[in-house]
């Protein structure tokens, strides 16, 4: 690996070019309505007392400034992942995400859901309107993915081959139905589901690597994994690194931008120092996500997005 890792954000675009990439596809980015984002940031402001480690948000910037930084980094495609914490939010959030994506070059149309009456109807509406990525947050939402109200959701996502970025791991705080067990039961019932496990399934990395080896459509996103911040609280065992090479076609870039306590460049440097080679990095930073998005069922609802 003759290419040096990026030291600062100013190095990232050049690093991607040196790898021969047109840029990066980051499948785990958050843009939210202002009042929702303020509540999210307030949670991280309490991280020292809640999680035992301070979590200073690196990119506590205006929305335009955050979008400029993504462009400067060379991030070509990203979703504005929204997620509800109670009933009655998801449909409204989906409308906001649809408008945001329509007005934001490079933003992948996305959606979310909650186990509630009408969930299949409004998720189908979002997909018909062009959503190509869906977010599920079991810890924040406090729901069980095996809830019967969600059976139709998983069926719909599997049928349309829409990837769902799911925070189903137990970190940084466990939820009532986080961990590999509940989502594993969903996959057993819906093996064609395109599941993107957020944060590599932190802290149960080995169990979620097992899940990806068992199901061909399970991906793991790199969000915060391998970074110095995370290694202090949920280290990724060196004995597991060879398994990342085995699953080289199923690891995708995620960052959690802007809600991270270090520069964006550090996530890429952390991936670089795994020592898995340039081909692995090219797949993770761009190729795997590009293929996953290309796998989405083609149709008129995607025509406008594909022209962007």
pTM: 0.95
Please write the tens of the pLDDT for every residue from 233-287: 999 999 999 999 999 999 999 999 999 999 999 999 999 999 999 999 999 999 9
Number of neighbours of residue 228 by Cβ within 10 angstroms: 11
Q: In angstroms, rounded to a whole number, what is the distance separating the alpha carbons of residues 92 and 245?
A: 40
Whole-number Cα distances in Å, 281 to 7, 106, 270: 16, 21, 11
Which pLDDT score, from 0 to 100, does residue 1 have?
60
Please write the tens of the pLDDT for every residue from 167-184: 999 999 899 999 999 999
Please write the tens of the pLDDT for every residue from 62-82: 999 999 999 999 999 999 999
3-class secondary structure, 228: helix
Which pLDDT score, from 0 to 100, does residue 306 have?
43
**Structure token digits, residue 92:** 């409204």
Number of neighbours of residue 153 by Cβ within 10 angstroms: 24
Number of neighbours of residue 273 by Cβ within 10 angstroms: 11
Say which residue, 2 or 92, is predicted with more confidence: 92
Which pLDDT score, from 0 to 100, does residue 51 have?
81
As assigned by CATH, the class of the 9-307 domain is alpha beta
Please write the tens of the pLDDT for every residue from 80-129: 999 999 999 999 999 999 999 999 999 999 999 999 999 999 999 999 99
pLDDT bucket at 302, cuts 50 / 70 / 90: very low
Output phi, psi for 218, to 5 deg: -95, 125
The residues, any chain, with a CB within 8 Å of residue 95's CB and separated by 6 or more, are none
Express as a percent the part of the chain with pLDDT over 70. Answer: 96
**Separate counts of helices (H) and strands (E) for the chain:** 16, 9
Average pLDDT over residues 141-152: 98
- Cβ atoms 216, 248 nearer than 8 A: no
């Amino acid at each position: 690996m003759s290419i040096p890792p990026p030291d600062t954000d100013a190095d990232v675009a050049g690093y991607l070019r040196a790898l021969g990439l047109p840029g990066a596809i980051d499948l785990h980015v958050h843009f939210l309505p202002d009042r929702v984002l303020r509540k999210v940031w307030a949670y991280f402001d309490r991280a020292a007392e809640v999680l035992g480690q301070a979590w200073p948000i690196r990119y506590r910037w205006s929305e335009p400034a955050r979008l400029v930084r993504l462009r400067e980094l060379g991030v070509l495609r990203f979703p504005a992942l929204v997620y509800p914490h109670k009933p009655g939010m998801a449909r409204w959030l989906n409308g906001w995400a649809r408008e945001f994506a329509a007005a934001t070059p490079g933003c992948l149309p996305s959606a979310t859901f909650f186990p509630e009456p009408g969930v299949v109807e409004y998720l189908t509406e979002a997909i018909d309107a062009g959503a190509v990525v869906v977010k599920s947050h079991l810890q924040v939402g406090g729901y069980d993915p095996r809830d019967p109200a969600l059976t139709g959701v998983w069926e719909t996502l599997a049928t349309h081959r829409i990837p769902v970025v799911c925070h189903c791991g137990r970190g940084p705080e466990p939820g009532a139905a986080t961990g590999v067990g509940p989502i594993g039961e969903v996959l057993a019932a819906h093996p064609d589901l395109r599941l993107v496990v957020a944060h590599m399934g932190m802290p149960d990395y080995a169990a979620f690597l097992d899940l990806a080896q068992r199901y061909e459509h399970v991906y793991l996103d790199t969000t915060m994994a391998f970074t110095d911040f995370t290694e202090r609280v949920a280290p990724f065992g060196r004995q597991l690194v060879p398994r990342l090479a085995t699953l080289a076609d199923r690891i995708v870039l995620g960052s959690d931008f802007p809600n991270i306590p270090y520069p964006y460049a550090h996530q890429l440097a952390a991936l670089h120092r795994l020592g898995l080679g340039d081909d692995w990095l090219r797949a993770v930073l761009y190729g795997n996500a590009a293929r996953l998005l290309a796998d989405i069922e083609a149709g008129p609802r995607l025509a406008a997005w594909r022209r962007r």
